[in-house]
Amino acid sequence: MGSLKMIIYVVVVLSMVMAGQSRQLVEKPKFGEGNGENMLSRDASDNKPEKIDSSDAKNLLPFPSIPMLVPPLPQIPFVPPLPDIPQLPLPPPIPQFPIPQIPLPPLPDISNLPPFSFPPIPFFTPTPNKN
C-alpha cells in the first residue's frame, strides 16, 4: 500500500512539474529566420539575459508549490551520551611455546637420472568418410 501512495505521489509531482514547464516555454524566433538578420548585424545587446519580474519568479521554481502528501518525519528524542566506561586491564599474554623442529628426510639423489622428455605424439590423420 505504501508503494502505491509513492507511485501516485511521483505521478502527481511529475505531472505538475511538466505542466509548470510547459507554461514557461516561450517560442523565440530562431536566429536569422524571417528578420533578415545575419551574424554580422547582430549586436551584443542580444546576449544580455532577460529581466524577470519578481511576480513571475514563483513560476520559475523547479517544483510548483503543492500540498505535502508525505507526513513529516517524527522527531528523534534526545539521547544523552553514555557515561565513560573505565578501561579494563588487558588480559595476560598467551604464552609462546617453542615449535619443535622436525628433521626432514634427505632428498633423493637425482643427478644420475636421464633427462625427462615427453612421449612422442602420434600424427593424427582423419579418415575420409566412405559413403
Over residues 10-33, mean pLDDT: 67
* Coil/strand/helix, residue 43: coil
Is the pTM here over 0.85, yes or no? no
What is the percent of the chain with per-residue pLDDT over 90, rounded to a whole number? 0
Among 70, 63, 72, CA closest to 14: 63
> Is the CB of residue 16 less than 8 Å from the CB of residue 23?
no
Mean pLDDT of 66-90: 77
Q: Which of 26, 19, 21, 24 is nearest to 56 (CA)?
A: 24
Grid cell listed for 93:
599474554
Q: Which 8-state DSSP code applies to residue 68? A: -
- The pLDDT of residue 13 is 86
Cβ neighbors of 12 (< 8 A, separation 6 or more) are 66, 69
